[in-house]
Each structure stands twice: as structure tokens, then as C-alpha cells.
Amino acid sequence: MVFGFGKKKAVESTIDPVQQQRVVSLQEIPAIIKELESPRISHILQEAKRLKTEIGLNQKNIHDIILHLESDDLKLDDVDKNLKTVGMRGKDAVVSTIKKETEARLTNIERYDDVITTNNEVNQMLKRIGDILGVHTRVMHVFARKYADRLKEEISKLSQNRSILQRLINEQENFKSDSCAILELIEKINSLKIEEDQKKHRLIEITNEKKEALHAITRLEQETSELRATPEYNEFLEVRKKIDHLSHEKHEIRRKIDAQFIKISRPLSKYSYVSSFDKPMKKMMEELISDPFEVISIHNKELVVEILQATAKSVVAGTISVKDSDKSIELIEDTIDRLDEFLKLKVAFTKKVSDLESSLNIFDIKTLETKEKELEKARSNITDFEASSKKIEKEIKDNESQLGAVKLEIESKMTSLNNGNAIIIKT
């Protein structure tokens, strides 16, 4: 501010409050905040009214100085005409502005909001007075030095009173800010408690589910053990072992058929490119070349013979070229002749497997397999339950840590609002 006013005067408390401790519940805190705020507001209003009275005296003193300045000719008749004009304009501007400001009535203080309004009015008054004196600083110091000094002194007193008023407002606004922060922290505690209750409830659910899974494991282990201990199951295993041993016989049949068809693979492959067969027959021919064991069957025998005969005719006609056509024809005819042999081997093998598989009906393997899957799932669930329990237990521990930290923060802020008298939240 121009003219050197506006320095704040340090205000020290001379009261040394007796430190007391108060134990309260979390639910009581909002009421306690109101309880603490009420005397603060009363004190602010009382102080603000006193300050307004002093500010009114400051206004009157400044107004009196301005009236004296207004009636003083400042001996401007003795100076240069141009300087006289500058001096008169400066004097008139200062007098006009400051008279207006000091004659203005401040808001009547009845509520806290009136204190804020009054403070803003005094701020504006000081700013306008400071601005006009700043613009005409030279005029005041050259022509009206004694008035400038007296104005500076009185405006400084006004500024100090305004600073005290501002401090009262700042303290109350800090109180309100801290109060809001405390209420938000209470909401956070409530939210954390709800979360913790939900997690503890879930932990109980998981414990019960784990117990059920353990009971299921015990039951399923017993049931599967009983099923495996039956004579039917042992007989089932023996039959399945016999079926597994038949795989060697199947391999030998496959080897014989493959060995025979390898001998005619060249003419068969060449004929597959030039044949006039329809799509299903061409597909069968491709499968016969790649896996004759699977294609040869009583149902397919005539079609296989048709494919082999058509291949032989193409060799005879020269439609497909082979190294030794007579040899190729001989091998194709030999293959046709051996089809019954291959079919007998496959039929005999299939009957053996079928007879053995029908013997498997002695035991309901699906029941055992279902129980084994249920047992595996129950064991997997136990692992999942244990992992979930550890995770939730850690989250509950973190929640409790957060609750403790927020509780301490509320106690610290409440103690500060309570003029240093400790407020402890009971658990």
C-alpha cells in the first residue's frame, strides 16, 4: 500500500490454558465442533464490534484531518500559477475521495457474515484512500506535508485494526476448513468400517465354504476308494489292460495293409489326378492312399475294388505311366485278392475289442470319473479359498492400519480446534 500503511501488528495470547483430556465417541464429534464454534463466533462478534468502533474513530480522525485540509489554502497563492493548479487539483481529489470514504457507514455487525462484509468494506476504503494518496503523493508531501504525516499515522492505525479483524476471520475460516476436513475423515472412517465389515463377512463365508469343501474331499476320497476296492473295478482294469495289449495286434494289421498299399502307391497316386470319379469317390481315393487301414471295411469293399480296378485299367490303357506296367497290374490284382484277408483280420480284431469293451460294463467307470473330477475341483477350491483368505486378511489389516491413522488425524485436528486440550476417540 502507498504511504507505508498496512503492517500487521503481532497479537499474542496471554492466556495459558490448562491442558485437559476429553474422551468422546466418533458420533459426538459433529456436536462438539458446533459446541466449540459457538463461543468462537460470540468472541469474534464481540471483538469485531469493538474493532468497528475503533475503526469508526479512525474514520472520524481521518475525516477531521481532511476537513482541516479542505479549509487550508496551503499558501498556493504564493506559488507559480501552473503549480497552484496542480496543487489545487490534487488537494480537491484527495479531499473529495477521503471525505466520501470516511463518511460511509459500515455494515452493522450482528452475524459472522457481517464481519466478513465489514472487513471487505474497510479493505476497499483503505485501497481507495491509498490509491488517491498514491496518485497525489508529491502534492501532499510538497504542499501538505503536515497533513500527509497525520494521515499516514491515522491510516496506519486503521490498517492495524483491519489486520486484527482479518486475523479473526482467518482463524474462523481455518476452523471451518479443519471442521470440514474432520467431517470428511469421519465419513472415511465410516466407509472403511463398512468395507472391513464386508471383508470380515466374506472371510466367514470363505471359512464355511472351505469347511464344506473339506467335508466334500473326505466324502469323495472315501467314495472313490470304495469304488476302486470293488471286485468289479479290478475286473474292469483287467479288461482294459487286455484292450490296451490289443494295440500291438492292431499295429501289425495296419503294418500289413500299409505294406501292401505302398507297393501300388505310385499308380494309385497318379490315377487320383486323372480319374473321372465324383467328389465322394475322389475323397475316398485320397484317404485310401493316405490311410488304407481306416478306409478298408466290409461296407467300402466294393468301392475300394472299383478304385483299384479303374487304376489297373488306366495302367493297361497307358493313361498313367509307370515304370513296369505288368508288375503294377499284378500288384493291384494281388491287392484286390488280399482285401478279404485284410477284412478278416480287421473284423476279428474289431470283434475282440468289442467283446472286451462289452465286458467293461461290469463297472460304471463314469461314476468314478465324475467323483474324481469333483475331488480334483474340491482340492483346487481349497487352494483358492486359502489364497482368498490370505488376501482378505491382508486387506483387513491394511484397513485397520488406515482406520488407526485416520483416527489419530481426527484426534490431532480436534485437539487443535479445542485450544490444545486433547480429544481422544474411544474405540
Instruction: For residues 173 and 291, state if they share a domain.
Output: no
Q: What is the largest CA-CA distance in the chain?
A: 152
Q: Residues 164, 29: contact at Cβ < 8 Å?
A: no
Q: What is the DSSP letter of 104?
A: S
Nearest to 300 by CA among 280, 315, 316, 320: 280
Q: Would you state the pLDDT for residue 16?
A: 46
**Rounded mean pLDDT, 310-328:** 87
Calculate what percentage of the chain has a pLDDT beyond 90: 61
Higher pLDDT pick, 3 / 288: 288
Residue 133, H or E segment: helix 112-135
Q: Residues 289, 315: contact at Cβ < 8 Å?
A: no
Higher pLDDT pick, 86 / 105: 105
DSSP per position, 305-317: HHHHHHHHHHHHH
Does residue 226 form part of some domain? Answer: no
253 CB contacts (<8 Å, ≥6 apart)?
293, 342, 345, 346, 349
- Tell me the three state secondary structure of residue 200: helix
Query: Is residue 361 pLDDT above 60, yes or no?
Result: yes
Where a domain ends, among 181, 213, 239?
A: 181
Amino acid at 208: N
Does residue 262 form part of some domain? Answer: yes
Query: Is residue 79 pLDDT above 80, yes or no?
Result: no
Q: Which of 78-87, 95-104, 113-122, 376-385 has the lowest mean pLDDT?
A: 78-87
- What's CA 79's distance to the chain center, in Å? 79
CATH code for the domain of 129: 1.20.120
Mean pLDDT of the chain: 88
Question: Rounded CA gap, 107 and 102, in Å?
Answer: 14
Q: Which of 69-73, 114-118, 345-349 has the lowest mean pLDDT?
A: 69-73
Q: Which of 219-223, 372-376, 403-407, 418-422 has the lowest mean pLDDT?
A: 418-422
Q: Residues 402, 192: contact at Cβ < 8 Å?
A: yes
Q: Would you state the pLDDT for residue 136?
A: 86
Instruction: For residues 166 and 245, state if they share a domain.
Output: no
Question: Rounded CA gap, 172 and 36, in Å?
Answer: 11
Going by pLDDT thresholds of 50, 70 and 90, the confidence category of residue 116 is very high
Query: Is residue 93 pLDDT above 70, yes or no?
Result: yes
Q: Residues 136, 94: contact at Cβ < 8 Å?
A: yes
- Tell me the three state secondary structure of residue 16: coil
Where a domain ends, among 332, 362, 392?
A: 362
Q: Would you state the pLDDT for residue 77?
A: 66
Instruction: For residues 107 and 249, state if they share a domain.
Output: no
The 10 Å Cβ neighbour count of residue 165 is 24
**Rounded mean pLDDT, 43-52:** 95
Q: Would you state the pLDDT for residue 6?
A: 42
Instruction: For residues 31 and 161, state if they share a domain.
Output: yes
- Ramachandran region, residue 16 (left: φ > 0; alpha: ψ -120 to 50; beta: rest): beta
**Rounded mean pLDDT, 67-93:** 78
Domain span at residue 348 reads 231-362
340-354: per-residue pLDDT in tens? Answer: 999 999 999 989 888
| Predicted TM-score of the model (pTM) | 0.61
**What per-residue string of b and e applies to 370-395 under the rule 16 or more CB within 10 Å gives b?**
ebeebbeebeebbeebeebeeebeee
Query: Is residue 81 pLDDT above 60, yes or no?
Result: yes
Q: Would you state the pLDDT for residue 11?
A: 41
217 CB contacts (<8 Å, ≥6 apart)?
375, 378, 379, 382
Question: Rounded CA gap, 149 and 164, in Å?
Answer: 23
Does residue 165 form part of some domain? Answer: yes
Going by pLDDT thresholds of 50, 70 and 90, the confidence category of residue 12 is very low
140-184: per-residue pLDDT in tens? Answer: 887 788 888 999 999 999 999 999 999 999 999 999 999 999 999
Q: How many domains does the chain fold into?
A: 2
Where a domain ends, among 362, 381, 416?
A: 362
Q: Residues 382, 161: contact at Cβ < 8 Å?
A: no
Question: Rounded CA gap, 413 and 183, in Å?
Answer: 11
**Rounded mean pLDDT, 110-121:** 95
Going by pLDDT thresholds of 50, 70 and 90, the confidence category of residue 19 is low
- Cell numbers at 397, concatenated: 489389516
Residue whose cell numbers read 475294388: 305
Question: Rounded CA gap, 97 and 353, in Å?
Answer: 119
